[in-house]
Amino acid sequence: MDKSYHVMLIYILSHLGLIFFMYPSNVVDSTSQGHWLPIVLGIIVHFIFLSIYIKGLSFFPKKDIITIYSSIGKWASALFVVPVLLYFIMIIFITARAYSEIITIVFLSNTPLWAILLLLLSISTYLSVNGVEVIFRTGLLLAILFLPIIIVIFFTSFQNVDWRYTIPFDSNFQFLKKRTYYESFFAFTGGFLFLGFVQPYFSYKRGSVLVAAIILIPFFVFSVYIPVLTFGQATASTMFLPYVVVVDAIDINWLMFDRVTMFFLLSLIAFIMIFLSLIMWTASRIINNYLPSIKPVYLAIFLSICIFFSSVMITSWKDVEQLFWWNTFLRFYVLIAVPVSIYFFGRRLKRKDKHETI
């Protein structure tokens, strides 16, 4: 069954949940002018490895990457699947912990951190144990409810911009020396690996994924530039969540509520829960491949419990930032190794089948 539009939608929702929070701050901190260059470079890297990845997956119809690597040999499974599993666990851990902290800072300052963590992880676990079909249907429902809100707020956030702040437009590659720039790739690399896990359940067109990636380009660009154009580089660089501050300053006369920040954050948190449930589902599938005697339901619950208690033990935001940086090395390994290896093995299989046919 072709689910191209559903895959597009989940792809967009997952990335929107990652873009508007820490990505603007990371890019703004990485350079003092010409922000377009680090943004464009990240987008180019994203498109290159996304294209390689989905092209490689096209050589293995109806197969997920677990089956692909397992058919090649145990060494491939150890070299590629295990790092992917570790990366997924780190993503769940860092995302749940970081976004719980953000929720506490922004609008639930009196709520204990453990309660927010419990809510995020319990909902995500519930969705993941019910399977990818439930996740996709829930994503469709959340898109209908919240995507219009995000789009309206996104366009309304232009109301206070000063286009003169785009000057100077010149840039250089000094941002490549800043760790914050490499941390910004969290928004690029976290959301496309699920494409290699849904193939046995859905079929989708390669072009639809690329269209979804193109749709996201303005959000990557203006999530950074709107805070800079509103407050200026010097002020925006001092903010923890620059885009959220911009949204908090929006004045919509026809809205009965004083702040639109609440709607904006709730929408993004809903998208983050879809993202977490999808990653937890993929992680449970990988673990189940090595421990087939244990049901995926129990694996997901156990994984969620471990992440919850590990997150509660971390009390400092600096520790979260340090984990975020350590995960960068694993992130780039997965970003490069998985798409390239899938493409390489796919090309080799195609040449082998061609020779056998001849």
Going from N- to C-terminal start, the domains of the chain cover 4-357
Distance of CA 108 to the CA centre of its chain: 23
DSSP string, 157-189: GGGG--GGGG------GGGGG-HHHHHTTHHHH
d(CA 226, CA 210): 25
Q: For residue 277, what pLDDT is reported?
A: 92
Q: For residue 261, what pLDDT is reported?
A: 77
Domain boundaries 4-357, corresponding CATH code? 1.20.1740.10
Q: For residue 258, what pLDDT is reported?
A: 58
**Cα atoms in the 13 Å half-sphere on the side-chain side of 45:** 16
The answer to whether the CB of 17 falls within 8 A of the CB of 272 is yes
DSSP 294: S
| Coil, strand or helix at 213 | helix
d(CA 236, CA 27): 11
Interhelix angle for 4-19 vs 206-231, to 10°?
20
Structure tokens at 174: 């000094």
Q: For residue 357, what pLDDT is reported?
A: 58
Torsion of CA 45, 335, 269, 231, to 10 degrees: -40
0.85 cut: is pTM over it? yes
The answer to whether the CB of 311 falls within 8 A of the CB of 319 is no
Task: Identify the CA nearest to 185 among candidates 220, 223, 222.
Answer: 220
Local mean pLDDT, 10-residue blocks, the chain (358 residues): 82 88 87 85 91 88 85 81 88 86 79 87 90 89 89 86 77 83 84 84 84 91 89 84 83 64 84 90 88 85 89 80 84 89 85 63
Q: For residue 217, what pLDDT is reported?
A: 92
d(CA 39, CA 13): 19
Q: For residue 233, what pLDDT is reported?
A: 82
The answer to whether the CB of 316 falls within 8 A of the CB of 113 is no
Q: For residue 356, what pLDDT is reported?
A: 58
d(CA 196, CA 209): 12
The answer to whether the CB of 204 falls within 8 A of the CB of 2 is yes
d(CA 184, CA 139): 25
Q: Which residues pair with 203 in a beta bridge?
A: 2
The answer to whether the CB of 63 falls within 8 A of the CB of 199 is yes
In angstroms, the Cα distances linking 106 to 26, 29, 187 are 18, 20, 20
- Residue type present at position 133: E
Q: What angle do CA 221, 224, 227 make, to 5 degrees?
A: 135
| CB environment 89-119: b (16+ within 10 A), e (fewer) | bbbbbbbbbbbbbbbbebeeeeeebeebbbe
Q: For residue 355, what pLDDT is reported?
A: 60
Q: For residue 109, what pLDDT is reported?
A: 75
The answer to whether the CB of 132 falls within 8 A of the CB of 145 is no
Q: Where are the alpha helices (DSSP H) in the chain?
A: 4-19, 22-30, 36-58, 65-72, 74-76, 82-106, 113-129, 132-156, 179-183, 186-189, 206-231, 233-236, 242-248, 261-290, 296-313, 317-357
The answer to whether the CB of 331 falls within 8 A of the CB of 87 is yes
Task: Identify the CA nearest to 218 among candidates 43, 7, 92.
Answer: 43
